Amino acid sequence: MDDIEVTPASGAWRKHSLITGKRYKKNFITFERLLDRSIDNITTSALSNVSNQIIITDTSSKRDVCRVVKVTKDSNKDSVKPYSLSVIKEFIQEASFKSVSWYNDSMVVGSTDGQIYYYNNDPTSSSDDPELRETYTITKLKGNKEVSQTIGSQAQSTTIKHVSINELASNTFSSLENNYFHIWDFADAVRPTISFKVSDQSVDCMQWSPHSRHFSLLGGSDLSLRITDTRIMSSYNSVKKSPIVWSNIKSSSSSSSSPLSNQSSSSSYSSSLHDSIKDVAWHPFVPYWFASASSSGSISIYDLRSTLEPVIKFNAHNSSISKIQWCPGHSELMVSSSIDGEYKMWSLLNEPHYNLFQKDEVSPFVYSGFFENDGYNNIGVNQSGELYYANISPKFMNPIIHSKFSKKEKLEKVTERLIYHRDFTTGFENAIQLANKHSRLKNLEKAKNLLSLCFQQNIDDGLSDVLKMVQQQPPKTSCRNQTIKDIKSYAYNIPPGYYEKYGTKLSTALMTKIKELKVNLDIQYSIKNFSGEEIVDIEREILNTLKTDHTSIRLETIVELVTVLLNYDPVKCYQFALQLIEVFKSKLNICLPILRLLVSPSIFEKRTNPLNRSTIINDTVPIPSSQQSPTVQSRKDTGIKSQTSSISSSPVMLNRSGGLSNSGNQLRDSSGSISYNSGDIEETRLNDYFSNYEFMVQQLTFLRDFIKILLSPTPISDGSNPNVEDIIDFASKNRPSPILSMSVNRIYLSILSDMFIFDQLYIVLLNLMETLGEDYELYPLLDEIYQLQTPDFISFLKNSQMPDRLKPYDTERFSTPLLIVISIIYNVPPQAIPIELNEILLSCLPVLIEEIDNSLISTIQQPDPSNTQPGKLQSSSKAKNILDLVKTITEAKKSSSLNSPMTERNRNSTNLTKLTSTTSSPSPPSQSLSPVFKVSTQIQSLIQNLNTVLNKYIY
């Protein structure tokens, strides 16, 4: 073990240290050292992606040999040496090796004689030495010798400078020699699949993107960096389109020009003739970040969303850098090694010097890196055969971990550190406990910060997306500030793709608790900020959480959530409520407070002061008016002068957000539990309806679609387009009986009154009056509408019975009031129709039938001149249409009667003024959506008479 103390930074930088600048104790970082005296000259190394093994290649005067070294952790926690390094395999090299790539059990090695060797090297086995499988030869280099470089020319070399297995397409690998990039198929040793001349200058290093199998990053002389797309490269010889999709150089030859190569750049290093890129490294988590290391000792960090200049650049070493690598578990950490005899660890958050520690030796370091699943521990290899494994204590890292909590909040800081050190189980359990505590104290920001530590970050844009974007519109400004912000976020939280990369296994119960708590916090946060938009974003997450466990979100929280959503977007609120009912289908009683809220104020709300008939809706704006345009006029019946109806001018409205007003009802008491005033709502009557799943689905579906049409630009159409269903057509076809929302009833009745839709108006009005009594809040309004509209309706019926001498063929003049009367009689229980009105309706029917008969005869004798058909055909067509409409009304009634027989009730009212005493109960919602009763014999006889008259003219 090395007894030398480790400094957090070099002497020149120590004063800038963000920590303390003091030396750390020896037990903060310990180095396990392997020194093999038989090794003369290590040229290159590579780490296994499966286990803590590293291969080192020795090119010495004694023999060429490769060794596989394993780092083993002692299971005894009290051991003096917690880690040990040992050689587990070795084999004689086929030649002097210059580069190596090791992925799973495949190992590719590039030599100095132009050949590439493919070995089977199983990292899970400690006994089987690597076995040579295949040899690949670049023909043009075979038998050649190294050629010295002359002035103005490119030196020719037989060395394979770099090899790399494509981890996302593991049947292929690549190699670099001189200024050529070759792609090989493991199954074809004869020739490369693709060969591409990258530049006129040397290309020294490359790496396949770990995020997309098509892209590779190449670095070469003059600090040039290029990203190539193999899909374009494969067709380069035929289409002559450059496969280089990004480059940081100002200009290049025609064969390697980049779409971004002409972008203006003020970088001073781009003109350096003697500096070159010695290594490149894609970021393991962020697809559009990568790093490069130069022969002058500098490290540069690039963000493809930015300009061609690096977003971060610092002088890392005094001489050429041999290797850089990102930490596979922490997005802000890196290591580097250099021929200046130093290998160092870096944190991009540790500005301005970035250095965390350095290891100084006399011999040059040729390699440094992190094992795949070993946290921030790392390893360095120097040329003389020394391997240093850095065992880093969490105490060393703790001072540089960013925290969002104060010094007094020690438990919160401990939780941050546990998760940073990837002790997920303990850290997540602490986060849940503390987040619950802060949630109860209403410290939602702190609770959300803690819980955010349990979730990995997400990235929306992939590498292809960013490259396409910068090709279409090259960035003109640096995004350094955004990159720094992202680095801090990914360092504090779990970086993007971490779980997918390492397959982190956490207990299902633990992750369920975290997700449920997150949903609850998101809801509380949205409620606190009254943000319906945020609730819409997490709607699916809420429903999935409730499907897993009905009790995972507190009922009070759901009610508050629905309240916010109702005021934000009532249509989405009702849709959300329908999904909630589906989730709680087997336990509808859980949804009762939510259902009450959505229909509040309901039609069963009692009057607190019978003398006070002022509007119950506050903070209101008028509903979308019919605008009294031709739309309205087309709906009105001719020959009627409307009285000034108070319903037209009364505030039948929605609240300002578009949602239905709750009229100030307090659904929650001071303790947060749901409560109702027994004097406000007759709960038992509502519960009769709420207990029926099908009825509630239809009720909420109707409310959702009704409000959606109401808030549309044209809620009432002019009837010119039969395919457009306006609010009147929709409600007449789909309304449940009754509509439980008082607000929607007021709006609907107001529209029907203003538009003189008498049949629908009286069907809804009289059925509601039958259902309710004087003690209910809505009843005075219903009575007022009845008193105002009935004179107009009676006048309309009387005028309709007078024939038009100028148009004796106008059958519609009589058929329209006839159908209105039949529709009312067949959809309103007899006891709900006041006697005077009932008598008028019954007296109209024979007269209207007779007038229809006369008009049909007149049509035969004097056809309608606007119709080209003969009079007899016109009369037959009219009769058939009327008959069909009558059948639609009467047969629908017969069907409902057969399905739900109901005893005829006694008439309670004796005249118009006595109508207010009617207080009968509603029909059970499970029976029928329309009132069910038996039509009198007199009515049936009149309908039969009508059918006889109409059938005379149909042929």
Distance CA(621)–CA(602), nearest Å, equals 20
User: What letter does residue 419 receive in the DSSP assignment?
Assistant: H
Token pair of 943 as six digits: 């309908």
* Helix locations, 64-137, DSSP H: none
Instruction: Specify the pairing of strand 29-35 against strand 42-47.
Output: unpaired
Token pair of 279 as six digits: 């290594």
Bridge partners, residue 292, by sequence: 280, 300
Is it the case that residue 247 has pLDDT exceeding 60?
yes
pLDDT (0 to 100) of residue 174: 95
Is it the case that residue 16 has pLDDT exceeding 50?
no
pLDDT (0 to 100) of residue 236: 67
Is it the case that residue 907 has pLDDT exceeding 60?
no
Instruction: Compute the 3-state secondary structure of the chain and give helix, strand, coil in percent, each to the nearest 5.
Output: 40, 20, 40
Summarised one tens digit per residue, pLDDT across range 798-828 is 988 888 888 888 888 888 999 999 999 998 9
Position 335: which residue type?
V
Distance CA(508)–CA(485), nearest Å, equals 32
Average pLDDT taken over every residue of the chain: 79
Closest by Cα among 906, 919, 934, 924 to 770: 919
Residues 6+ apart with CB under 8 A from 171: 185, 186, 187
Residues 6+ apart with CB under 8 A from 812: none
- How does residue 327 score in pLDDT terms, banded at 50, 70 and 90? very high
Bridge partners, residue 622, by sequence: 653
Is it the case that residue 571 has pLDDT exceeding 50?
yes
pLDDT (0 to 100) of residue 541: 74
Distance CA(139)–CA(640), nearest Å, equals 101
Is it the case that residue 526 has pLDDT exceeding 90?
no
Question: What φ, ψ does residue 160 adopt, rounded to 5°?
Answer: -85, 100
Distance CA(189)–CA(201), nearest Å, equals 27
Closest by Cα among 305, 280, 278, 275 to 292: 280
Is it the case that residue 370 has pLDDT exceeding 70?
yes
* Helix locations, 614-741, DSSP H: 630-635, 646-649, 683-690, 693-710, 727-734
Instruction: Specify the pairing of strand 180-185 against strand 194-197.
Output: antiparallel
pLDDT (0 to 100) of residue 871: 85
Distance CA(849)–CA(468), nearest Å, equals 75
Question: What φ, ψ does residue 194 adopt, rounded to 5°?
Answer: -140, 135
Is it the case that residue 369 has pLDDT exceeding 90?
yes
pLDDT (0 to 100) of residue 611: 41
Mean pLDDT of 520-543: 71
815 exposure class (CB count in 10 Å sphere: 0-12, 13-18, 19+)? buried
- How does residue 75 score in pLDDT terms, banded at 50, 70 and 90? confident
402 C-beta neighbours (distance < 10 Å), count: 12
Summarised one tens digit per residue, pLDDT across range 479-496 is 999 999 999 999 988 888
- How does residue 605 score in pLDDT terms, banded at 50, 70 and 90? confident
Distance CA(272)–CA(250), nearest Å, equals 12
Closest by Cα among 571, 567, 578 to 709: 571
Mean pLDDT of 606-632: 41
Inter-residue contact 220 to 199 (CB < 8 Å): yes
pLDDT (0 to 100) of residue 932: 62
Range list of β-strands (E), 869-927: none
- How does residue 762 score in pLDDT terms, banded at 50, 70 and 90? very high
pLDDT (0 to 100) of residue 599: 87
* Helix locations, 493-588, DSSP H: 498-502, 508-528, 532-537, 539-548, 555-568, 570-583
Distance CA(452)–CA(748), nearest Å, equals 47
Residues 6+ apart with CB under 8 A from 942: 842, 845, 846, 849
Is it the case that residue 910 has pLDDT exceeding 70?
no
Mean pLDDT of 833-843: 91
Distance CA(367)–CA(42), nearest Å, equals 10
- How does residue 129 score in pLDDT terms, banded at 50, 70 and 90? confident
Token pair of 123 as six digits: 């990292």
Residues 6+ apart with CB under 8 A from 417: 394, 398, 401
Summarised one tens digit per residue, pLDDT across range 133-171 is 999 998 888 766 655 554 445 567 889 999 999 999 989
Token pair of 807 as six digits: 């148009």
Mean pLDDT of 389-404: 90
CA 916 to chain centre: 54
Closest by Cα among 902, 780, 900 to 831: 902
Is it the case that residue 878 has pLDDT exceeding 70?
yes
Task: Classify 494 as helix, strand or coil.
Answer: strand
Mean pLDDT of 857-873: 87
The pLDDT > 90 percentage for the chain reads 32
Query: Which single residue is written with the structure tokens 């947060």?
Result: 672
Residues 6+ apart with CB under 8 A from 208: 164, 165, 166, 167, 168, 174, 215, 216, 282
Summarised one tens digit per residue, pLDDT across range 715-757 is 888 767 777 788 888 888 888 888 999 999 999 999 999 888 8
Distance CA(815)–CA(851), nearest Å, equals 9
Residues 6+ apart with CB under 8 A from 810: 804, 855
- How does residue 608 score in pLDDT terms, banded at 50, 70 and 90? low
Distance CA(324)–CA(299), nearest Å, equals 9
Q: How far is CA 224 from CA 179, 221, 366, in A?
A: 12, 6, 22
Q: How far is CA 472 from CA 119, 227, 304, 465, in A?
A: 43, 16, 13, 11
